[in-house]
Structure 1
Amino acid sequence: MTHGKARPAREWAAESLFRPLAEQLLPPLARRRVNPVRVVLTHTALGVLAGALLRRGHHRTPAALLQVKTLLDNLDGQLARATGQTTETGRYLDSEMDVVVNAAVLVGLAGRWGLPLTLLQSLILSVDYLWERDHRAARGEVFRDPPAQTRDDPRVLAALRLAYTLYFTPQERLLEALFERRLRAVTGGTPTSADRRAYTPRAINQVAVNLGLSTQLLALGGCLLLRRPRIYLWSLPAQALLLAGVQVWREGRVVRGRLEEGRR
Structure 2
Amino acid sequence: MLVDPLARRNVDPSHVVLFHTALGVYAAWLIRRGGPWWRSRLTPALLLQIKTVLDNLDGQLARATGRTTETGRYLDTEMDLVVNLALNVAVAGKAGIPLTLLQSLILTTDFLWEQDHRAARGEVFRDGAAQAGDDPRVLAALKAVYAAYFVPQERVLGGWFEARLRAVAGNSPTPEDRHAYTPLPITAVAANLGLTTQLAFLGACLLAGQPKFYTRSLPFQILLLLGVQRWREGRVRGRGQD
TM-score w.r.t. the length of structure 2 is 0.96
Deviation at 1:257, TM superposition (A): 0.9
Deviation at 1:139, TM superposition (A): 1.4
Distance, in Å, in 2 between the alignment partners of 1:143 and 1:36 is: 21
Q: Which residue of 1 aligns with 2:37?
A: none
Equivalent residue runs for 1:160-239 within 5 Å? 160-239=142-221
Q: Deviations over 1:118-167 (max 9, x none)?
A: 10111000001000111111111111111111121111111111110001
Deviation at 1:188, TM superposition (A): 3.2
SS in 1 for 2:2: helix
Residue number among 88, 100, 104 corresponding to 1:122 in the alignment: 104
1:112 aligns with 2:109: no
SS in 2 for 1:59: helix
Deviation at 1:168, TM superposition (A): 0.3
- Aligned partner letter, 1:47: G
4+ long deviations beyond 6 Å: none
Distance, in Å, in 2 between the alignment partners of 1:39 and 1:49 is: 15
SS in 2 for 1:84: coil
Q: Deviations over 1:175-223 (max 9, x none)?
A: 0011011111112322111111111111101100000101100111011
- Aligned partner letter, 2:30: L
Residue number among 118, 136, 144 corresponding to 1:154 in the alignment: 136
Q: What is the percent sequence identity of the aligned residues?
A: 66
Q: Which residue of 2 aligns with 1:59?
A: 41
Q: Deviations over 1:55-91 (max 9, x none)?
A: 1121211111111111110111111111111101000
Residue number among 43, 46, 71 corresponding to 2:20 in the alignment: 43
Residue number among 88, 92, 98 corresponding to 2:80 in the alignment: 98
- Aligned partner letter, 1:124: I
Q: Which residue of 1 aligns with 2:58?
A: 76
Deviation at 1:169, TM superposition (A): 0.2
Q: Which residue of 1 aligns with 2:7?
A: 30
Unaligned residue ranges in structure 1 (runs of 5+): 1-23
TM-score w.r.t. the length of structure 1 is 0.88
Q: Which residue of 2 aligns with 1:144?
A: 126
